[in-house]
Amino acid sequence: MKIKVWAEEIARRHLEPEAIRRTYDRYARVYDGIFGPVLNPGRRRAVAAAERLPGRRILEVGVGTGLSLPLYKSSRVVGIDVSDKMLERARRRVARLGLTHVEDLRVMDAEQMAFPSHAFDAMVLMHVASVVPHPDRLMAEVRRVLRPGGEAIVLNHFWTGRGPMSLVERALAPASNTIGFRPMSLDELISVTPLAFVSEEPVNLFGYWSLVRFRRD
């Protein structure tokens, strides 16, 4: 019962947009070293899942420093992020590696995207669902900009309330605005997503992250 009450209280926490931006501006210089290798298996799986889908125009939400951009082989990619300092590094990566398949990299609020409806064949959201202030607004925008039949590939860590990681999540929850994310469950994400849930599979170290597919009708 205590776990359920705590989970419901965490679900009501809202991150502050400016706090998120500041946090990821600070992360920009060290992000690749900290999160690059450990999260790369899931990153590769997410890109591969998106590129198996029909159509070849993909939006990556929360593209960050562009770690995933060299992994795309057969798609045109647009990336957005809330942090310009993260995007500066992504732009340098694109220029250094000559990634001509990357159409554009823009600073943008994922809860209010400046794209027309049905603009993309697929979307990739890596480590974003638990970062935005309002996951329901994020997923509503995902549905809007996806073409009918398109899929959203979500890679995220989801709180389960079990095992040693749940203790870490509980300890970090009060510092959500400082560390830039809050714990959330897969059930919470599914409940606010106006897309059809397709599948979920564990990825990355010890399977602590999940690769989740949603489809737009």
Counting Cα atoms < 13 Å in the Cβ hemisphere of 197 gives 13
Residue 46 φ then ψ, to 5°? -65, -45
pLDDT tens profile 89-141:
999 999 999 999 999 999 999 999 999 999 999 999 999 998 898 999 999 99
| Least confident among 36-40, 45-49, 144-148, 209-213 | 36-40
Task: Please answer whether residues 138 and 123 qualify as being in contact, where contact means their C-beta atoms are separated by less than 8 angstroms.
Answer: no
Q: What is the CATH number of the domain that holds 82?
A: 3.40.50.150
| Least confident among 32-41, 46-55, 164-173, 175-184 | 164-173
pLDDT tens profile 34-83:
778 888 999 999 999 999 998 889 999 999 999 999 999 999 999 999 99
With a pLDDT cut of 90, the percent of the chain lying above it is 63
Two tokens at 188?
A: 């919470």
Supply the pLDDT for residue 131: 87
Q: How confident is the model at residue 162 (pLDDT cuts 50, 70, 90)?
A: low
Domain count, the chain: 1
Looking at every residue in the chain, the average pLDDT score rounds to 84
Contacts for 2-8 with beta carbons within 8 Å, 24 or more apart? 3/161, 3/166, 6/170, 7/159, 7/161, 7/185
Task: Please answer whether residues 213 and 124 qualify as being in contact, where contact means their C-beta atoms are separated by less than 8 angstroms.
Answer: no
Whether the predicted pLDDT of 185 surpasses 70 = yes
Whether the predicted pLDDT of 8 surpasses 70 = no
Mean pLDDT of 144-149: 98
Whether the predicted pLDDT of 176 surpasses 60 = no
Give residue 66's domain range: 2-215
For 95-195, where are the E strands, in sequence order? Answer: 102-107, 120-126, 146-156
Alpha carbon distance 192, 129 (integer Å): 11
